[in-house]
Structure 1
Amino acid sequence: MPRWAAFAGFVGVVLGGLLLLARASADALDSSTAEFPATLSDRVVDAPVAAERPPRRGDTPSTSALLVNVVVSQGAFASLLVVGAWLAAIPAAAFGLSAAAFAPRSLAAGVALGVGLHVVNAVGQRLSDRLGLGDSTTLRRAMTPESAAGWAVLLLVVLPLVAGFEELLFRGVLVGVLAAGFDVSPWLLAALSSIAFALGHGAQGRAGVVVTGLLGFVLAVAFLLTGSLATVVIAHYLVNALEFVVNERYRSD
């Protein structure tokens, strides 16, 4: 029999730890930006042309360390959630992991949603720049690799792990599981989980928090409409991957 209350309490502890870590990461990133501004600002829109750049010889220690930190931290939190769900006997369907969740229609919906959200996200960033709401791209620039191996790790390991864990927590657990286990409106949970999702991205600045919160709500709505965690994981991954590839990879060439 599922132990909903015990798992909800456990998730509260995990979420609290994640938000504290996100806050610490934001503070550390702000400190690094102030101390080494050139490291994080050498890939802006009006940067020098490629001929004026020094040749790329590999990823910087700070970028590699940041990618490793993301893998370790996100992997640890994801493992805690999986173990906690197993011990509490939470059914997979509550997370949006039924067989129908992996149907071709659900997967295609994830692709379409991810591409659409990437376009909206890009427009939001441009508006943020024009309105002076802050730089939401600092973290992305810090995580951008310079080597082919670094890009492979980013696209095939880091971003899939981030999308999988964040969707598992913010949509699968905070919306799906809590709605299944308690008499709470899933739409209210969608709104609250989106606020938590935004707060967990404080390292992206004020504009990044606002945009991330809106994107999180759209993903929550998609999760409720499709009942598929796979749909939102694919969409989340594509939003992140396209942001790196379109913005940073293009500019670094």
Structure 2
Amino acid sequence: MTDWAAFAGFTGVILAVLLTLAHLSRGIPHADGGDTHFAHDLDSGAPAVDDESESHAADDSHQTTDATEHGPSLASLSPASTPDEGREPRPATDEAHGPWPAPDQNHESPSANIPPHMLLANVAVSQGLLGAFLVTSAWYTSVPLSALGLSLSGLPSKLAVGVALGGVLYAVNRAGSSVSREFGLVPDESLRDALTPETTGGWALLLLVVLPLIAGFEELLFRGALVGALAVGFDVSPWLMAAVSSVAFGVGHGAQGRLGIVVTGLLGFALAAAFVLTQSLLVVVVAHYLVNALEFVGHDVFGW
């Protein structure tokens, strides 16, 4: 007999852990020394500096720029930079080299040199562990595979639908991104940039391990568990659960900024709708994977 209440409890714990990790990921360090943050870190019209750095900033004013164009200064974002440490802040930008400052030769942070493949490995491990816990929870509470959208019937047709859906969602996402830029709404792409591989091995890790794990785990949680299993177990509308799961899905991608939360929430609802209509987890996993993979490959390889 299925213990739906216990499964709902396990799912809630996993969701809470995932959202906590998403909140913490706002400060993931880049290999070039930057950090990812919500768009509200860009609210200030100029980079923040501490009192001791005002005279120094005046001498190097050619190295600063408007935050709405290049982002806030590293001194205002990095938890390692505080007035009490007696350190001179690093400049917010360098006109010749882009928005990220050159490494501070005297006070280089160890976290500033974390390579993308280490960040990818961290994502793979965390998503894999959470996914394993969710699968174990479903087994322990005897949740039917059908409630999660798992079935071996019609695999070729489901795979084809997933590929088509992924292509359409990616195209719509790119079109929407282009339109939003025309209105000055630029999505925060710093997290994707931080995870973009620099080697062939890194790309293999990303495309063959990390992105499949992300797509599989997130679809099992947000669509299979929250929409499928809980709707069946508690006799509620799957469309209501689709709306709830999509809000959680958007919040879970908070490292992409406020605009990213909205866009990802809409994408989540499209995937949830596809899950409700097809009753197939495979369809949405394939679509999710393609959207993510095309985003990385299209941007970094083809410059889309």
Q: TM-score, normalised by structure 2?
A: 0.72
The answer as to whether partners of 1:43 and 1:251 remain within 8 angstroms in 2 is no
Structure 2 Cα separation of the partners of residues 106 and 203 of structure 1:
31
Percent identity over the alignment is 57
Counterpart position of 1:5:
5
In 1, are the aligned partners of 2:26 and 2:35 still within 8 Å (CA)? no
Contact 2:250 2:265 in 1 (8 A): yes
Matches within 5 A, 1:177-192: 177-192=229-244
Alignment of 1:7-156 (within 5 A): 7-28=7-28, 32-33=35-36, 34-35=73-74, 61-100=114-153, 102-156=154-208
Q: Distance in 1 between matches of 2:98 and 2:303?
A: 7
* Aligned 8 A contact 2:148 2:229 in 1: yes
Is the 2:29–2:114 Cα contact (8 Å) retained in structure 1? no
- Equivalent-residue separation in structure 1 for 2:179 and 2:189 (angstroms): 13
Gaps of 5+ in 1: 45-59
Structure with a larger share of its residues in helix: 1
5 Å-filtered alignment, 1:103-252, equals 103-251=155-303
Distance in 2 (CA, whole Å) between partners of 1:96 and 1:125 is 31
Partner of 1:57: none
Structure 2 unaligned regions, length at least 5: 37-72, 75-89, 100-112
Q: 1-side partners of 2:22 and 2:151: how far apart?
A: 31
| Structure 1 residues 166-211: Cα deviation after superposition (integer angstroms, max 9, x where no partner) | 0000000000000110121100000000000000000111111111
User: 3-state DSSP class of the match of 2:302?
Assistant: helix
Instruction: Evaluate the alpha carbon distance shift between residue 103 and residue 43 of structure 1 in structure 2; reply closer, same or farther with a 3 A threshold.
Output: farther
Partners of 1:217 and 1:43 lie apart in 2 by 36
Alignment CA distance shift 1:70-1:43 (3 Å)? farther
Q: Which residue of structure 2 aligns with residue 55 of structure 1? A: none
Task: Give the count of matched residue pairs.
Answer: 233
Instruction: Go from structure 1 to structure 2 and tell me whether the alpha carbon gap of 1:127 and 1:70 turns closer, same or farther (over 3 Å shift).
Output: same
Counterpart Cα distance in 2 of 1:5 and 1:162: 26
Q: C-alpha distance in 1, partners of 2:123/2:28?
A: 14
1:65 is aligned with what amino acid?
M
**Which has the greater radius of gyration?**
2
Query: How large is the RMSD of aligned CA atoms in angstroms?
Result: 2.2
Give the distance between the partners of 1:76 and 1:28, measured in 2 at CA. 20
Q: TM-score of the superposition, structure 1-length normalised? A: 0.86
